[in-house]
Amino acid sequence: MQNKSMIVCRCEEISYDELIESASKYKCSARELKLRTRAGMGYCGGRTCRTMVDNIAHLHHPRTNDEISLKHQAPIRPVRFSDLGEVK
């Protein structure tokens, strides 16, 4: 049995309870659940909670074939090593 008060999104401090409550109340897709709760919008960009948010949303609002799951984005842009040592 899962601890319903466990934190799923550490960056935004969103609990499992909050996600389940929002998903069941609004029957929202993964994207809507993310927008309603801010889960996955923190510093890590959803790297740690994306799968859980997507799965919870899918339980309450089954995905259609044309609907994609949540994606994550890197919080920073990659920099080439040559750019770091370049003298201008």
Task: Confirm whether 50 is domain-assigned.
Answer: yes
pLDDT bracket for residue 81 (50, 70, 90) = confident
**Cβ atoms 25, 18 nearer than 8 A:** no
Task: Confirm whether 44 is domain-assigned.
Answer: yes
Task: Confirm whether 51 is domain-assigned.
Answer: yes
Over 70: is that where the pLDDT of 4 sits? no
Spell out the residues 6+ positions from residue 58 whose beta carbon is closer than 8 angstroms to its own: 30
Task: Confirm whether 1 is domain-assigned.
Answer: no
Task: Print the domain residue range for 25.
Answer: 7-84
Q: Which residues pair with 9 in a beta bridge?
A: 14
Task: Confirm whether 34 is domain-assigned.
Answer: yes
Count of structural domains within the chain: 1
Task: Confirm whether 23 is domain-assigned.
Answer: yes
pLDDT digits (tens, 9 = 90+) for 50-69: 999 999 999 988 877 666 67
Task: Confirm whether 70 is domain-assigned.
Answer: yes
Phi–psi pair at 51, nearest 5 degrees: -65, -45
Which H, E and C letters describe the chain, residue by residue? CCCCCCEEECCCCEEHHHHHHHHHHHCCCHHHHHHHHCCCCCCCCCCCCHHHHHHHHHHHCCCCCCCCCCCCCCCCCCCCHHHHCCCC
pLDDT bracket for residue 75 (50, 70, 90) = low
Task: Confirm whether 17 is domain-assigned.
Answer: yes
Over 90: is that where the pLDDT of 25 sits? yes
